[in-house]
Structure 1
């Protein structure tokens, strides 16, 4: 019967339209998820990569400043208890900045490898600090002895500390590249979903038009001829 055919055609059209709506909703949900992932990645790049990178840069500057001060002190021909006290005040100034930046850096998001590198840097920094403090706590009686000990091991320890911080900086840069690669992958997925939505809409739209035209063709064929 003709009415059953019309119902079948309408059900087909309704089903195809439902498919368009379902696909659109699903793709919209996936796109929202991807947008959130991209937003999180960009925020992480700023909060956990760019800002900490500047902190590492400033820590490196303070370490090099300490190295310069110590170099100037060790090459001073008039080393005295007063010069050591003055050096101690200068070193304390840089140490406070380094500790502040290090505490700030520890609160950022770090991958396991970064945590491992950070612990290694902190251990090296503490070992150097012991040598530095041993020198700065010298008295008028043992200045030359402690200066000699620092020359033997302190300078090399400070260089290793700077190298450890440099390694951490390089690792952080690599992790930042990985985050950018992940964000680009998510963005490509978003473009794919948008393209898929467009293709599905076009294909299903064509199918709907074909069904409508087919139903009209059937109606015309089944219309009775009017004989005058």
Structure 2
């Protein structure tokens, strides 16, 4: 798929420009609401790391696809309700949207029951936008500490900068918070700004439309079937 090949090339160039090792940044192909034919085309080009926003949609798409294709690594990048947490920890290898103590407690309890836990990023609402998930920046240290206390494998932080703003200050704020908490993972950067995110230290970038093309938001998500 040409979109995927273009993004991979741009990502490698972005790494090179700032002296980072090739393939040091994980490309998450955001497949939410994308039709099955586009997802299959990206799979055929070798992509195995995918991001989904909704647990139920991810279950319907990826449960059958995982039976066909091996090595798929799923990342939850959308808000997580506590009543969907059990399904999330069973489906996803990484959850990028831990944003409150109650959710941390639920994930920790489920991990203890299962004997395993997804890796976790704490989501920080760097723009303090009321319509967005994520803890306020001033609460991030406490949430990281509480999550670690509960035994969760916190590997980094995630943010989504406000639309229309320069994303770089938000990336730098996230990096600062991660640094003082001893976290190396930085999930930041999307289709329009992932190169800037790489320059600011991103370890994971989340790219959807630049890989798959524009979403048809008028149509319901297409579930993957036999």
Bigger relative contact order, structure 1 or 2 (CA pairs below 8 A, ≥6 apart): 1
* Structure ID, larger Rg: 1
Q: TM-score, normalised by structure 2?
A: 0.20
Higher strand content, 1 or 2? 2
